[in-house]
Amino acid sequence: MSHKDKIQAARLLQKFKQYLLLEKALSGNTIDSYVHDVERLFAYLEQQQIHPIEVNLDDLEHFLASLHDEQIQPRSQARMLSGIRAFYRYLVLDGYIEADPTLLLESPKIGMKLPEVLSVEEIDLLIAAIDLSKREGQRNRAIIETMYSCGLRVSEACNLKLSDLYLHEGFIKVEGKGSKQRLVPISERAIAEIMDYMTDRAEIDIKPGHEDYLFVSAHFKKKMSRITLFHIIKELAEQAGIKKTISPHTLRHSFATHLLEGGANLRVIQSMLGHEDIGTTEIYTHIDAHRLRSEIIEHHPRNKKRG
């Protein structure tokens, strides 16, 4: 591409970023991810001397083939395509191109990877591993119980505010993806853990701008970070002797799976999790079917090995 073309491509990318922020109201993490995906495509197109506006289906298929040659996994390729598809939809909407070249582009075939799920007993072991003699012990207990009780994403838990709590009514207000808000019931046990934590929280001299966040760091005196929560969950799993590879998101998966196993309607679970598309929620029916098959294989007399 010429220098003039590069400047135009950079402007398109900046306008795309503004569109994602102002019109689609996506989170900062999602916007950064989408922009990075498009920049990856731009780098390839520059090598091929192709302007982004002139891209066709063949060009995109060759781009995917180059990702495969770089041994980028199909799941990562599919995620990357999400940003690229969004970019070309934007170009059509703003009149830069007439037809979307990604419409007939097939996503890489990826097998369904079912997320790890903890049993209720394992959740209890995780919480029991928390050392309450440490100054952040009760906070950790409260946040894990709240995440499991309400099926929160890690960012939703870290961004939960005091003004979002309606504990007397048994609800919390959660701000999910795209700044969409939902009311989620919270268990009596989680409420009790939060109330116990409030005593410890009152002793922290919280920095200005962070006073309304529920879960704060006693050391940094500001809202708890996602990285800290990942570290806490990993450490507790090791102490509890849980061999599964888990993360804070495992608590959300466990919440949904236990609801389904208890007989909850899939639409109710969708509403609780804040999924826009019920297809996203349906993965939990696959988890349930997977567990059912495991139970049959283990216990049915025709499946038991002899001797």
* For range 270-288, the mean pLDDT: 74
200 pLDDT band, cuts 50/70/90, is very high
From 85, 139, 253, 275, active-site residue: 275
The answer to the question of residue 303 being in a domain is: no
Per-residue pLDDT tens for 238-257? 999 999 888 898 999 899 88
Percentage above 90 pLDDT, the chain: 53
User: Model-level pTM?
Assistant: 0.62
Q: Is the pLDDT of residue 262 over 70?
A: yes
Chosen domain end from 45, 75, 93:
93
- Active site includes 249? yes
Q: Is the pLDDT of residue 112 over 60?
A: no
pLDDT score recorded for residue 27? 83
The answer to the question of residue 102 being in a domain is: no
235 within 8 A of 129, measured Cβ to Cβ: no
pLDDT score recorded for residue 275? 82
- Answer yes or no: do 267 and 144 share one domain: yes
* For range 40-58, the mean pLDDT: 91
The answer to the question of residue 188 being in a domain is: yes
CA atoms within 13 A on the CB side of 145: 23
- The CA-atom distances, in angstroms, between 145 and each of 93, 124, 151, 244 are 44, 9, 10, 19
130 within 8 A of 236, measured Cβ to Cβ: yes
CATH number of the domain enclosing 150: 1.10.443.10
- The CA-atom distances, in angstroms, between 173 and each of 188, 191, 274 are 16, 14, 11
The answer to the question of residue 283 being in a domain is: yes
- Answer yes or no: do 88 and 134 share one domain: no
- Answer yes or no: do 34 and 137 share one domain: no
pLDDT score recorded for residue 124? 95
- Active site includes 90? no
From 89, 226, 249, 291, active-site residue: 249
The answer to the question of residue 44 being in a domain is: yes
From 85, 141, 153, 253, active-site residue: 153
- Active site includes 153? yes
Name the phi and psi angles at 38, rounded to 5. Answer: -70, -40
- The CA-atom distances, in angstroms, between 266 and each of 131, 164, 234, 279, 284 are 36, 25, 30, 10, 9
DSSP 8-state symbol, 99: S
pLDDT score recorded for residue 207? 96
Residue 54: give the domain boundaries: 3-93
From 51, 161, 177, 222, active-site residue: 177
**Of 2 and 172, the one with more pLDDT:** 172
Mean pLDDT of the chain: 87
pLDDT score recorded for residue 113? 60
- Answer yes or no: do 169 and 290 share one domain: yes
Q: Which residues of 211-243 are buried (b: 16+ CB within 10 A; e: fewer)?
A: eebbbbbbeeebbbeeebbeebbeebbeebebe
What does 62-90 look like in DSSP terms, one character per residue? HHHHHHHHTT--HHHHHHHHHHHHHHHHH
Per-residue pLDDT tens for 203-220? 999 999 999 999 999 999
- Active site includes 284? yes
Q: Is the pLDDT of residue 305 over 80?
A: no
- Answer yes or no: do 155 and 272 share one domain: yes
Q: Is the pLDDT of residue 53 over 60?
A: yes
Amino acid at 199: T
The answer to the question of residue 172 being in a domain is: yes
286 pLDDT band, cuts 50/70/90, is low
pLDDT score recorded for residue 307? 43
- Answer yes or no: do 166 and 222 share one domain: yes
Q: Which of these, 172, 129, 169, lies nearest to 147 by C-alpha position?
A: 172
CATH number of the domain enclosing 72: 1.10.150.130
Q: H/E element holding 173? A: strand 171-175
- Answer yes or no: do 156 and 51 share one domain: no
pLDDT score recorded for residue 42? 93
- Active site includes 253? no
Q: H/E element holding 182? A: strand 181-185
Q: Is 243 helix (H, G, I), strand (E, B) or coil?
A: coil
- Answer yes or no: do 139 and 235 share one domain: yes
165 pLDDT band, cuts 50/70/90, is very high
111 pLDDT band, cuts 50/70/90, is low
Name the phi and psi angles at 72, rounded to 5. Answer: -80, 130
pLDDT score recorded for residue 79? 86
For the chain, the domain total comes to 2
pLDDT score recorded for residue 85? 93
- Active site includes 252? yes
Q: How far apart are CA 4 and CA 66, in angstroms?
A: 26
pLDDT score recorded for residue 166? 95
Sheet with 165-166, edge to edge strand ranges = 165-166, 171-175, 181-185
The answer to the question of residue 54 being in a domain is: yes
* For range 82-89, the mean pLDDT: 93
* For range 72-87, the mean pLDDT: 88
**Sign of the four-CA dihedral 114, 120, 125, 126:** positive
pLDDT score recorded for residue 26? 82
Q: How far apart are CA 141 and CA 260, in angstroms?
A: 24
Instruction: Name the packing angle between helices 137-150 and 120-128 (round to 10°).
Output: 160
- Answer yes or no: do 137 and 279 share one domain: yes
Poorest-pLDDT segment among 43-52, 97-106, 139-148, 282-291? 282-291
Chosen domain end from 75, 93, 111:
93
* For range 125-148, the mean pLDDT: 96
78 pLDDT band, cuts 50/70/90, is confident
CA atoms within 13 A on the CB side of 7: 3
From 223, 252, 253, 258, active-site residue: 252
- Answer yes or no: do 133 and 51 share one domain: no
pLDDT score recorded for residue 245? 85
The answer to the question of residue 170 being in a domain is: yes
Name the phi and psi angles at 47, rounded to 5. Answer: -65, -35
